[in-house]
Amino acid sequence: MARVDADLAGRMSRWHCWSRRRVINAVDAAVRRCDPDAIRERERQEDRRRLEVTARGDGTAKIDGIVALDAAVAFDARLTELANGVCRADPRTRAQRRTDALKAMAEARRLACLCGATDCPNRSADTAPATRIAINVIAGAHTVLGGGSQPGYIEGYGVIDAEQIRVLAQNATLRLLAEPVVSQAQALRYQPTAAVQRWVRLRDLTCRFPGCDRPAAGCDVDHTIAFNHADPRNGGLTVPWNLKCVCRQHHRDKTFNEGWRDEQLPDGTVVWTSPSGEIYRTTPGGVDLFPDMASAPACQPPTPLARNRSGERTGRIARIRSRNRTLRPINEAHRQLQQARRREIGYRKGRNHMRKMLFILKGRPSTSPYCTWINDPPEPEELPPDWRPPPQHPQPDDPPF
Ligand SMILES: [Zn+2]
Ligand SMILES: [Zn+2]
C-alpha cells in the first residue's frame, strides 16, 4: 500500500478534472504494477463465477451473476450490437432494447424493430447472421510477447492484468501500435485515415472534455484547429496532434455553443477554457496507462511507402507463426512461476499456523529432533517480486504434537 500510495502521490497533481472511472483505472493499474500477487484475488473471484435467474413475483425476473471478463465484454458488446440494429423510430429506450436483445440473443435472432412502418427493413426477427465480436485490448509489447507484468486495458471496460492479456493474446490478431506517419496529401484531407483514427482513439481512450468518460469508440474525431474546407492549407491539419476524441454531446457543445475554447499541445494535452475563463487541462488516457504512447513532436517529414502486398502477407503469416512459437513457452513458464509462488505462500502460512499452535498448546519451544523448523520465527507471508522457486520443494513434515 505504501508503494502504491507513493506512486499515485507522485502523479496525482496532473490529474486535473479526471472522471471517477479514469481514477479507478489509474489506481487499478498502479496496484497491478506494484503487486503481481494481486492476480490471486482475481482468480479467487473467477472461481466464484455464477449466473442466476430469479423470479421477482411481479411477472419480471432478475438476472444476477459474476462472470469471466472476456465473457462479460463479449456479452455486453453483442447486446449493444443487437440493440442498435433497429431504426431510429423504434419507440423503446436504449435500456429496453438491450433487455429485449437478450431474448433475441438466446434465440439466435435479430432484434425486431417496433417502428411500425410497413417497409421497415428491420421489421422481421430473422435468424441473426453469425458475427464475431471484436474486443480491443491495448498492452505493452513486452507484456504480450515476453514475461512483462505491466497491466493492459480493454477498450470501454478497464484495466486487466498481464496474465489475462497473454491468455487473450493467444487467439487474438496482434497489431503493433505506433504513431502513424501522415503524408502531406492525407494531412490536407478532412477525413483522417483509418490508422490515424485508430491511433487517436487508443491514445485518448475516452472523450477529452473535462470529466467526461464516454468511451472513445463511440466518439467523434475532432479537429482542434478547425479544418478549412475552402482552403485546407490555411486551416487545421488532419494529423494526430490536431485531432482528439469528443463525444457527440461535447462535440455539439463545442461547435454550436459559443464560449468553450480548446487548444491542443504536441503531447496530446488539451487545454480547455470555459466561458467564465476557467482553465482545464486534460491529458490523454492512453498516455497515462502507457507512457510510451506520448506523442512524438509534431511535423515529422512524411515517408512515402512502396507497398508489396504479397510480400506483406507472407511476412505477416511468418510473424504470426513465430509469435505463436515464442509465446507458448513464455506463457507456460509464467503460469508455472505463479503457481509456485502461490504454493510457497500456502506452505509459509501453513508453517506459521503450526508455530502458533505450538505456542498455544505447549507454550515453549519443541525439543523434538524431527521437526526443527517449528522453532524458527514466523516467515513473511508475502514474496519479493524476484522470488524464484528453490530447486527442491520440501513439504512441511508433521509437527511434533
Ligand atoms: Zn423500423
Ligand atoms: Zn464527452
In tens, the pLDDT along 148-174 reads 888 899 887 888 888 888 888 888 888
Do 289 and 29 form a contact (C-beta atoms < 8 A)? yes
What span, in angstroms and rounded, lies between the C-alpha atoms of 357 and 228? 79
Q: Closest ligand to 87 CA?
A: 1
Ligand 2 centre to CA of 141 (Å) is 30
Q: Closest ligand to 244 CA?
A: 2
Ligand 1 centre to CA of 85 (Å) is 9
pLDDT for the residue 40: 74
What span, in angstroms and rounded, lies between the C-alpha atoms of 357 and 378? 12
Choose among 291, 318, 31: nearest CA to 138: 291
Ligand 2 centre to CA of 214 (Å) is 6
What span, in angstroms and rounded, lies between the C-alpha atoms of 66 and 74? 14
More confident position, 210 or 132? 210
More confident position, 134 or 95? 95
Average pLDDT over residues 300-328: 64
Ligand 1 centre to CA of 388 (Å) is 61
Residues measured by CB to lie within 5 Å of ligand 1, the ion? 87, 113, 115, 120, 122
pLDDT for the residue 297: 47
Choose among 149, 139, 87, 158: nearest CA to 116: 87
Beta bridge partners, 73, equal none
Give per-residue pLDDT as tens, 186-221. Answer: 999 999 999 999 899 989 999 999 888 888 888 999
* pLDDT of 390 higher than 70: yes
Ligand 2 centre to CA of 95 (Å) is 20
Q: Closest ligand to 254 CA?
A: 2
pLDDT for the residue 394: 54
135 confidence band (pLDDT: 50, 70, 90): confident
Q: Closest ligand to 123 CA?
A: 1
Do 207 and 213 form a contact (C-beta atoms < 8 A)? yes
337 confidence band (pLDDT: 50, 70, 90): confident
The three cell numbers of residue 77 are 458488446
More confident position, 348 or 288? 348
Ligand 1 centre to CA of 166 (Å) is 42
Ligand 2 centre to CA of 280 (Å) is 14
pLDDT for the residue 401: 55
More confident position, 400 or 129? 129
Ligand 1 centre to CA of 214 (Å) is 27
396 confidence band (pLDDT: 50, 70, 90): low
Ligand 1 centre to CA of 377 (Å) is 73
Q: What is the pTM of this model?
A: 0.63
246 confidence band (pLDDT: 50, 70, 90): very high
Give per-residue pLDDT as tens, 22-76. Answer: 888 888 888 888 876 777 778 888 889 999 999 999 999 999 999 988 889 889 9
Average pLDDT score over the chain: 84
More confident position, 21 or 317? 21
Ligand 1 centre to CA of 79 (Å) is 18
- C-alpha of 393 from chain center: 37
> Which residues, 6 or more positions from 242, have their beta carbon under 8 angstroms from its beta carbon?
223, 224, 225, 236, 264
Backbone dihedral angles phi then psi of residue 279, each to the nearest 5 degrees = -110, 130
Q: Closest ligand to 253 CA?
A: 2
pLDDT for the residue 298: 43
Three-state SS at 131: coil
Ligand 2 centre to CA of 287 (Å) is 18
Average pLDDT over residues 235-262: 86
Ligand 2 centre to CA of 228 (Å) is 24
The three cell numbers of residue 129 are 447472421
Ligand 1 centre to CA of 123 (Å) is 6
What span, in angstroms and rounded, lies between the C-alpha atoms of 343 and 88? 56
